[in-house]
Amino acid sequence: MANETQRSVTSTPVGARPPERAPRHEFATTRPPDAVQRYSTGERLTHWAVALAYTVLFLSGLALFHPFFYWISFLFGTPTFMRILHPFIGVALGILFFAYAARLWRENLFSAADRLWLRRMFAYMNGREEARVEGKYNAGQKAMYWSMIIMVVGLLVTGIFIWRPYIAPAVPLLGRRIAAVIHVIFAFIMFVGIGIHIYAAVWTRGSMRAMTQGWVSRRWARYHHPGWYDRVARKETVR
Amino acid sequence: MNLSRRQFLKLTTSGIGATSLGALGFAPDRVLADVRNFKLASTTQTRNTCPYCSVSCGVIMYGLGDRSKNAHLKLVHIEGDPDHPVNRGTLCPKGASLIDFVNSPHRLKFPEYRAPGASEWQRVTWEWALDRIARLMKDDRDKNFVAKNAAGVTVNRWTTVGLLAASASSNETGYLTHKIFRSMGMTAMDNQARV
Amino acid sequence: MALESLDIRRRSASQTRAPDVRKHTEVAKLIDISRCIGCKACQAACMEWNDLRDEVGLTNGTYNNPIELTDRSWTVMRFYEEELADKGLQWLIVKDGCLHCADPGCLKACPAPGAIVQYSNGIVDFQQDNCIGCGYCQTGCPFNIPRYGVTDGKAYKCTLCSDRVGVGLEPACIKTCPTQALSFGTKEDMIDIANARLVDLKERGFDKAAVYDPSGVGGTHVVYVMPHGDPALYRMPREASISPLVGLWRSGFARTLGVLTMVSVVVAGFFHWMKVGPVDPDALPPREGE
Amino acid sequence: MTNHWADIKNANVIVVMGGNPAEAHPCGFKWVTEAKAHNKARLIVIDPRFTRTAAVADQFVQIRPGTDIAFLGGVMNYLLSNDAIQHEYVKSYTNAAFIVRADFHFDDGLFSGYDEAGRKYDKSTWVYELGPDGYAKVDPTLQDPRCVYQLLKKHYSRYTPEVVSSITGARKEEFLEVCKTIASTAPADRTMTSLYALGWTQHTVGTQNIRAMAMIQLLLGNVGMAGGGVNALRGHSNIQGLTDVGVLSDLLPGYLTVPKEADKDVDTYLAARTLKPLRPGQMSYWQNYPKFFVSLQKAWWGGAATKDNQWAYEYLPKLDKVYDILTVFELMHQGKVNGYICQGFNILASAPHKAKNLEALSKLKFLVVIDPLVTETSTFWRNAGELNPVDPAKIETEVFRLPSGCFAEEDGSLTNSGRWLQWHYKGAEPPGDAKTDLEILGELFHRIRTLYAKEGGAFPDPMVKLAWPYAVASRPSAEELAREYNGWALADLPDPKDKTKIVVKRGDQLTTFGQLTDDGSTAAGCWIYTGSYTDKNNMARRETADPSGLGLTPSWAWSWPANRRVLYNGASCDPTGKPWDPRRALVKWNGEKWVGPDVPDFKVDQPPASESGMAPFIMNPEGVGRLFGADKLTDGPFPEHYEPFESPLAKNPLHERAVASTNPAARIFAGDKAALGTSEKFPYAATTYRLTEHFHFWTKHARIPAILQPEQFVEIGEALAKEKGIRDGERIRVRSNRGEIVAKAVVTKRIRPLTVAGRTIHTVGIPIHWGFEGLTKPGYLANTLTPAVGDANVQTPEFKAFTVNVEKLGVA
């Protein structure tokens, strides 16, 4: 029944099943009965859609950036198709990302405790204990959140400026030149961020599962996000 | 040769790898660029003269086909004749685009007739058109030919049908035109020189 | 040493050099503005030879037509009426089109291997087969030359009639120019002719006459004789060079830096993993209260 | 052209006036560029607009349209009052020394003998004083007040720089600068060439415009010289050839003339044209007129032309007047013309006053248009809205449109303005059912002749008996016709010096017009073309050798007459037969005969003037160039400035007499006179012209030129535009008293307002190339505006100077 309890506290109307369905507990699953729901199905789908879009954008961008990677373009059928695809996917990513991010901004507001976390971040990375995290996200995740917003906005705007044949012809050459440079710089910052993001997910075991299956163990929750865990346990609305 | 299963796998994967890398564009760069084919390679050349202004630049016309019976010779390109002492291969914008005159969508392809009061052309045969023109001309000449003037001097002129000769037709055409129409006693004959 | 060599010197988005052990003579087109009568024969010959037919447009109150370069007008004449203090009314007529830079910004900016090539003779040519239509060549060009096909989205510009030069003929515009305002040959010869023209022009009172061969792009394979000297009068950049912005982004340095950044993220992650290993709260012994 | 295209490179000074070769003849203009580059030549452009020729000129002067004679008269005054003339040349090779009849005079714009009612001159006083020997009297000292030199000086003394500036609007300093440059070619080793085209001919004073320059060139000794001459650039590819073969109302091939009513028989006809020399020892080439004429009649009527029937003289029509285009359209407008054949000529657009042309064509019973392209003439009955507002239902004209081949689809020759006959070859078949011109002519004539043979009718003989020696009767070939105009011997021709020798065997092609006879033993359809097609087709020659370096290329094609490249080249030598300038040696006397890189324009074994008294202008009975035009022209022996028939000035500043305000000898029909506008209602001077991107009304059917200049426009100066609030690219309406057009405005610095007779005069420039057919954007035919009045001598319409008003319509 713990499972049922946990379900009820997560704020996932998407995951809510119609009552007439057969009860879930008869279904064989690796999910322990006391697991804590961290990401709803909708969040996970959106996340992975964004991730897929990013992968496409990254690969195609990489192919356009450096001739060494041009072969990647053939994965798209033809380089020209890849070039046509890239901006459309970019717009798609923008929409998905903002649809996703719009719901998370409150949880990503910095709080006083975040300062301590950041101060102890490198120590944590070197194997010391993590500073206590009060919200759903730690300060590193919040920093990632806000930097991604800046990056995506930047990439989207600059990308649109250099979008042939629809927008670029209307943009003055200097604007296109600046846009192209910013696009590239942001793409690399974003790559670095995404790299850290992926590595952090891999490094903190259980995180991947959280984003794939939606749940974390109680221990994981208590260890990484004690504040959040407490509130979840107290059935408070998590902010 | 004895291959362990492990070795075998290694070989085949690298083989597959190499092949797919080739497919992915890791093949060595092609060194030659694709230059557009030289479009005059096997065309038929004919010498001509630009028909526009009176500089009369020499031109060379390039035609598709080799004049064999089944190839319909179509001009595809015209450029200046480098031997020509006046234009030395150069052409003005009109001359350089002569091909668009020769192949203009407004070239006339068959005889047409516009009946009195009509607002459309109708396609006719050469036979019909020339027969009718000849008839109209003869009837008018027979009716209006002036053999003698009021003073009784033989004047043998026909003033009621006129002709304007071209300014770009050949000397031979001009000469024949003059010979034919003057023989009819035509006086109202002029060419573009007057204008 | 053939002028018509179409061996490749440079190729867009290519890591390694094309074989270029042979030394080839560089060609150039000379545009002598002082002899140009703005007849547009070059435009006509260009369209005719390259089988291009632009739209029948409108007039905008000048003699410029087509008004701008397009994917089907690779060269256009621009007309400027200038009242000059010392010379009175001058009708300046500039043939616009690709200058075939020795250091081509378009080629530098192009991400598609082989979409832009520079032949050993200096001609910079677009290979539409390889073009992906990204528009970078336009941002790379200091002279705003490349244009995109309306229907196919590929970039086009003057090829200096590489197909003609490749069989030993001069480009179509050069051949047709009625007043020898255009000439074609080795770059060396063209510079000699240009300098000789300056002597004549100075004798006629054009004291400021100058040759336009902008060094900012390593010199060009289209060279102008400008009777009034100042390129700005002819609406050409006084100092032409590839925008530093484009350099910033398409240089080998930037590319390497980008790739190194990526590699270092991966490497850093790897080493961190090796040193610290994963964090796994589930691996901790159960705490009290669990 | 007295000279030829490549010869321009030999000039030191090039005057472009009445033409715009950089735009209308770019490839010929190349030789101006060459002269500038290799000869340090100076290019002077005098024009109502700053053209693309002016863009590369050393000196440019803007003048008001129609004031060329005022300018050139001023130049003559400058040359004469500064004594900047080639004295020896003027004395020996012009009629400067000739004494003019005592009762010849000029007074307030009129020469002696004017008949105001008939608007024409009695020219009997415009002649030389003849001595008892029948030769003209001369005063080699040029002091006699009645000698041409003194009359000339007096006539042009009125054209002071101030007067020139006041009439033409040119700035005085600019005018004097130009005079100085022109005067620099008076020395024997410097030459000036004059390039003109329709900017001079399309005026009521067209012929006199050209004469004025010819006189300047004679004064400077530039006629007959390499790099000199008076060079008509001419507008169309074969306008020279069609004129040479005489397809004009009053001409026969080779500048023979059609008999007039007064020429009652062949002897009268020939006597009036066989000109006797006016000076002792002189050769007058027209003394050979009967040989040319009889050979023509033999070519046309073969065996039917015999001495007994006056060489078929009666087969030719006799003119009661000249049926020039303006006259024919006037007659057509009066309903007196029933049928009209347009063989590739867009007359609706080419003759002035489109509305009148439309009405005239609508009165025809039938119209035949033979053309490779759609022309407005062929569709004159088509309603094209404002552009051609007609009601087809009300037009009863039957129209036939016959598709012809174009240059690329036929063999034949064209004569360029340098008089070169160049052969061209067929490179493709005509499209669809189109036929070549020769085929169409052959088929049509074959039908008419058959009808006459079968049915009889009015005087069928000339047609039925017309010589028709062509292998395929319905399709004469170009070669057959070329052989015919070149001519052949009808009998063995003996050597005139040794009658036992045969020069040309019976049936063989003639090699020179010197072989022509007046006894019917030769046939030649166009005597000046004799030599073009001998045993081989000389027009097809393509040797590029130029041994003299003067650009003569004597073995390229063939030039008339006799393959001579520079006319009057005898005048390139001083009276002892030595070239004035050894670097420009075209011919010279070597003690026995004339030799040189060009074919001598002189009797080849006749010693030069100092020994024989024979002067080099052998086509003139006086043997010299005419500073005084005598009675050759209808409107005066000296060019005089007359205002255009439509002028922004109410009155000619030079003359008080109203009738002498415009050319008093120019003919104008009553209806056309009524259609002239006044300067009050139409205050701006207007001129029409070509642009380099187009050829007449022809290339608007070709895609590339249509792209290069797609839409109709009118050029106005910035000052006028400001006054009217018109900006670049806005639509404006241009009206004359005959109609209006709407076009976009090109506002330009290149047309400045002129100060003329104390007033500010604006000029409006109207390019001609648009119409209601074509690939270009539809436009108005520019002749909607132009007046139907022609040059006093040859009736070329005054397209270059008329008046309009302009109003703004705003953005379209």
Query: Quick check: D449 contacting B, CB < 8 Å?
Result: no
Q: Nearest by CB to D241, which of B94, B158, B171? A: B171
Dmax (CA) of chain B: 127
Q: Nearest by CB to A205, which of C13, C254, C279? A: C279
Specify the pLDDT at position B5: 45
Tell me what the mean pLDDT of segment B156-177 comes to: 95
Specify the pLDDT at position C7: 82
Q: What band does D571 get if pLDDT is binned at 50, 70 and 90?
A: very high
Mean pLDDT across chain D, nearest whole number? Answer: 96
Which one-letter DSSP state was computed for residue D97?
G
Is a pLDDT exceeding 60 seen at residue B12?
no
Any domain includes D785 = yes
Q: What band does D811 get if pLDDT is binned at 50, 70 and 90?
A: low
Which one-letter DSSP state was computed for residue D681?
T
Global confidence as pTM: 0.92
In a shared domain, residues C161 and C276: no
Tell me what the mean pLDDT of segment D346-365 comes to: 97
Please give the domain boundaries of chain B with CATH numbers for all domains: 44-102 (3.30.200.210), 109-143 (no CATH), 145-195 (no CATH)
Nearest to D16 by CA among D52, D47, D49, D58: D47
Is a pLDDT exceeding 70 seen at residue C38?
yes
Cβ neighbors of D240 (< 8 A, separation 6 or more) are B54, D234, D415, D416, D417, D419
In a shared domain, residues C72 and C182: yes
Which one-letter DSSP state was computed for residue B131?
H
Number of H helices and E strands in chain D, helices first, is 22, 31
Residue ranges in chain A modelled with pLDDT below 50: 1-16, 239
Q: Which residue range(s) make up the domain with A193? A: 40-233
Q: Which residue range(s) make up the domain with D375? A: 325-452
Helix/strand/coil for D83: coil
In a shared domain, residues C99 and C48: yes
Q: Nearest by CB to D413, which of B113, B130, B172? A: B172
pLDDT tens for D499-535 read: 899 999 999 999 999 999 999 999 999 999 999 999 9
Burial class (CB in 10 A: 0-12, 13-18, 19+), A47: middle
In a shared domain, residues C39 and C132: yes
Q: What band does B10 get if pLDDT is binned at 50, 70 and 90?
A: very low
Decide which of B7 and D792 is more confident: D792
Query: Quick check: A171 contacting C, CB < 8 Å?
Result: no
Q: Is the Cβ pair A66, C133 closer than 8 Å?
A: no
Any domain includes C107 = yes
Q: What band does D453 get if pLDDT is binned at 50, 70 and 90?
A: very high
In a shared domain, residues C23 and C48: yes
ipTM of the complex in this document: 0.93
Question: Can you give the CATH number for the domain in which D434 is found?
Answer: 3.40.50.740
Query: Quick check: D168 contacting C, CB < 8 Å?
Result: no
- Measure D417 CA to nearest chain B CA, in Å: 5
Nearest residue of C to residue A87, measured between CA atoms: C134
Q: Are residues D745 and D739 in contact, defined by beta-carbon separation less than 8 angstroms? A: no
Any domain includes D344 = yes
What gap in Å lies between CA D58 and CA D75, rounded to an integer? 18
Is residue B13 within a helix (H) or strand (E), and if so which, with residue range? helix B5-21
Query: Quick check: A126 contacting C, CB < 8 Å?
Result: yes
In a shared domain, residues C177 and C193: yes
Specify the pLDDT at position B3: 44
- Measure A25 CA to nearest chain C CA, in Å: 22
Neighbours of chain B (3+ CB pairs under 8 A): A, C, D
Helix/strand/coil for B27: coil
Give percent of chain D with pLDDT exceeding 90: 99
Q: Indicate the pairing of strand D558-559 with strand D420-424.
A: antiparallel
Cβ neighbors of D116 (< 8 A, separation 6 or more) are D659, D664
Place of tokens 């084919």: B37
Cβ neighbors of C2 (< 8 A, separation 6 or more) are C24, C25, C168
Q: Is the Cβ pair B29, C114 closer than 8 Å?
A: yes
Any domain includes C3 = no
Question: Can you give the CATH number for the domain in which C37 is found?
Answer: 3.30.70.20
Q: Please report residues of A whose CB lies closer than 8 A to that of B21.
A: 71
What gap in Å lies between CA D524 and CA D529, rounded to an integer? 9
- The backbone torsions φ and ψ at residue D484, rounded to the nearest 5 degrees and listed phi first, read -70, -45
Q: Are residues B163 and D347 in contact, defined by beta-carbon separation less than 8 angstroms? A: no
Q: Nearest by CB to D708, which of C44, C180, C204? A: C44
Q: Is the Cβ pair C280, A205 closer than 8 Å?
A: yes
Residues in chain A: 239
Task: Count other C-beta atoms under 10 Å from residue D810's C-beta.
Answer: 10
Decide which of A3 and B173 is more confident: B173
- Residue A47 is among the residues annotated as catalytic for this protein: no
- In this complex, whether D and C touch, counting 3 or more CB pairs under 8 angstroms, is yes
Cβ neighbors of D645 (< 8 A, separation 6 or more) are D204, D662, D663, D666, D668, D676, D787, D789, D798, D802
Q: What band does C290 get if pLDDT is binned at 50, 70 and 90?
A: low
Specify the pLDDT at position B21: 38
Q: How far is C-alpha A91 from the geometric centre of its chain's CA atoms? A: 16
- Looking at the structure of chain C, the number of domains it has is 2
Q: Please report residues of D whose CB lies closer than 8 A to that of C57.
A: 707, 710-711
In a shared domain, residues D716 and D596: no
Report the half-sphere exposure of C107 (CA within 13 A, side-chain side).
26
In a shared domain, residues D605 and D685: no
Is a pLDDT exceeding 50 seen at residue C134?
yes
b/e per residue D766-800 (b: at least 16 CB within 10 A): bbbbbbbbbbbbbbbbbbbbbbbbbbbbbbbbbbb
Annotated catalytic residue, options A86, A183, A197, A224? A197
Cβ neighbors of D583 (< 8 A, separation 6 or more) are D189
pLDDT tens for D110-147 read: 999 999 999 999 999 999 999 999 999 999 999 999 99
Q: How far is CA C135 from CA A177, C116, C139, C144, in A?
A: 11, 12, 7, 11
Report the half-sphere exposure of A97 (CA within 13 A, side-chain side).
22
Query: Quick check: A56 contacting B, CB < 8 Å?
Result: no
Residues of B contacting chain C (CB within 8 angstroms)? 29-39, 77-80, 82, 87, 89-97, 99-100
Tell me what the mean pLDDT of segment D624-633 comes to: 96
Any domain includes C215 = yes
Q: Are residues D106 and D676 in contact, defined by beta-carbon separation less than 8 angstroms? A: no
In a shared domain, residues D776 and D667: yes
Pull the structure tokens for residue D659: 């009738």
Q: Is the Cβ pair A75, B24 closer than 8 Å?
A: yes
Specify the pLDDT at position A19: 54
Angle separating helix axes D172-183 and D161-168, nearest 10 degrees: 120
In a shared domain, residues C221 and C108: yes
Q: What band does B33 get if pLDDT is binned at 50, 70 and 90?
A: low
Helix/strand/coil for D665: coil
Q: What band does D318 get if pLDDT is binned at 50, 70 and 90?
A: very high
Mutate to test the interface with C, among D50, D59, D707 (most CBs of C within 10 A): D707
- Looking at the structure of chain D, the number of domains it has is 3
Specify the pLDDT at position C8: 85
What gap in Å lies between CA D44 and CA D60, rounded to an integer? 6
Q: Are residues C47 and B58 in contact, defined by beta-carbon separation less than 8 angstroms? A: no
In a shared domain, residues D792 and D675: yes
Specify the pLDDT at position A5: 40
Mean pLDDT across chain B, nearest whole number? Answer: 86
- Measure C62 CA to nearest chain A CA, in Å: 23
Q: Are residues D752 and D717 in contact, defined by beta-carbon separation less than 8 angstroms? A: yes
Any domain includes A9 = no
Specify the pLDDT at position C289: 58
Any domain includes A24 = no
- The backbone torsions φ and ψ at residue D165, rounded to the nearest 5 degrees and listed phi first, read -65, -40
In a shared domain, residues D804 and D662: yes
- Looking at the structure of chain A, the number of domains it has is 1
Tell me what the mean pLDDT of segment C178-207 comes to: 96
Cβ neighbors of D436 (< 8 A, separation 6 or more) are D404, D405, D409, D410, D430
What gap in Å lies between CA D340 and CA D332, rounded to an integer? 9
The arrangement of strands across the sheet holding D412-415 comes to: D412-415, D420-424, D558-559
In a shared domain, residues D693 and D603: no
pLDDT tens for B40-77 read: 988 999 999 999 999 999 999 999 988 888 988 899 99
SS3 string of A117-186? HHHCHHHHHCCCCCCCCCCCCCHHHHHHHHHHHHHHHHHHHHHHHCCCCCCHHHCCHHHHHHHHHHHHHH
> Which contacts qualify for C229-237: CB closer than 8 Å, 24 or more apart?
C233/C80, C233/C82, C233/C92, C234/C33, C234/C80, C234/C92, C234/C94, C235/C78, C235/C80, C235/C94, C236/C94, C236/C143, C236/C212, C237/C142, C237/C143
Q: Are residues A152 and A94 in contact, defined by beta-carbon separation less than 8 angstroms? A: yes
Question: Can you give the CATH number for the domain in which A92 is found?
Answer: 1.20.950.20
In a shared domain, residues C109 and C219: yes
Burial class (CB in 10 A: 0-12, 13-18, 19+), D215: buried
Pull the structure tokens for residue D514: 């010197």
Q: Which residue range(s) make up the domain with C184? A: 8-243
pLDDT tens for A183-234 read: 999 999 999 999 999 999 999 999 999 999 999 998 899 889 998 998 887 7
Query: Quick check: D454 contacting B, CB < 8 Å?
Result: no
Q: How far is CA D434 from CA A127, B123, D405, D479, in A?
A: 94, 13, 6, 21
Specify the pLDDT at position A32: 85
Pull the structure tokens for residue D664: 């008093």
Residue that finishes a domain, picked among D398, D425, D452: D452
In a shared domain, residues D612 and D663: no
Any domain includes A186 = yes
